[in-house]
């Protein structure tokens, strides 16, 4: 390729984003999908009887350090919390165990009290299924904030970090 063509590549890449980039980018009030979330560390767990699911609550480094230091009210700016949700099923090999079935969704909260002042200091986003279809009904973040207002006195976060040695 001739050298003078090289500067055009980034422009071209911008004009034709991959499908993944499109659906993971921020849109309206939705945050961008945090790329490294599968490598976040565990902060809590939950099993929900209302929709028969198991959930892992993970945090990025900022969130995990805050959790371990007990500094979660408020959580520091830069903290990201991820909730991975699986449908549950009974273990075939050990019937007393309830274990993950199909992957359902992943939801996020990103703390930035200035940037997200309009939505309780957190940016919100949810991606559904293995295809990670963004949940982007207009005004969806109001739903998130409304339900999380139950735990307004815990900086809008339900999960208390699991006790550890």
Token pair for 105: 């969704």
Token pair for 27: 């849109």
* Pairing status of strand 133-134 against strand 53-59: unpaired
Comparing CB distances to a second copy, the nearer of 72 and 88 is 88
Residue from 27, 97, 118, 146 touching a second copy (CB under 8 A): that is 97
72 sits near ligand HEC (criterion: CB under 6 A)? no
Residue 22's H or E segment, with its range, is: helix 19-24
Stretch that binds ligand HEC, among 16-24, 61-69, 111-119, 121-129 (CB under 6 A): 121-129
Catalogue the long-range contacts made by 39-43 (C-beta closer than 8 Å, 24 or more residues apart): 40/64, 40/80, 40/82, 42/162, 43/67, 43/81, 43/159, 43/161, 43/162
Q: How far is the CB of 142 from ligand HEC (least distance, A)?
A: 9
Round to whole Å and give the CA distance between 117 and 112: 8
Residue from 81, 104, 116, 155 touching ligand HEC (CB under 6 A): that is 81
Residue from 17, 46, 69, 129 touching ligand HEC (CB under 6 A): that is 46
Q: How far is CA 21 from the centre of its chain?
A: 16
- Eight-state DSSP code of residue 153: G
Stretch that binds ligand HEC, among 6-14, 18-26, 34-42, 143-151 (CB under 6 A): 143-151
Token pair for 125: 């986003």
Binding region for ligand HEC (CB under 6 A)? 46, 48, 55, 57, 81, 83, 94, 97, 107-109, 124-126, 135, 140, 143-144, 147-148, 157-159
Binding region for a second copy (CB under 8 A)? 38-42, 44-50, 54-56, 58, 84, 86, 88, 91, 93-94, 96-100, 102-103, 106, 127, 129-132, 150-151, 158-160, 162-165
């Amino acid at each position: 390729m001739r050298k003078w063509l090289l500067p055009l590549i980034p422009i071209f890449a911008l004009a034709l984003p991959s499908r993944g980039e499109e659906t993971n980018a921020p849109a309206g009030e939705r945050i961008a999908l945090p790329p490294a979330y599968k490598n976040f560390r565990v902060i809590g767990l939950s099993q929900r009887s209302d929709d028969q699911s198991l959930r892992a609550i993970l945090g990025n480094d900022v969130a995990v350090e805050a959790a371990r230091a007990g500094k979660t009210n408020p959580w520091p700016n830069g903290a990201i919390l991820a909730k991975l949700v699986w449908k549950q099923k009974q273990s075939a090999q050990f019937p007393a165990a309830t274990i993950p079935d199909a992957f359902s969704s992943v939801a996020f909260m990103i703390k930035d009290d200035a940037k997200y002042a309009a939505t309780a200091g957190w940016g919100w986003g949810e991606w559904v299924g293995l295809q990670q279809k963004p949940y982007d009904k207009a005004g969806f973040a109001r739903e998130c904030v409304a339900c999380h207002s139950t735990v307004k006195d815990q900086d809008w976060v339900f999960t208390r970090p699991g006790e550890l040695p």
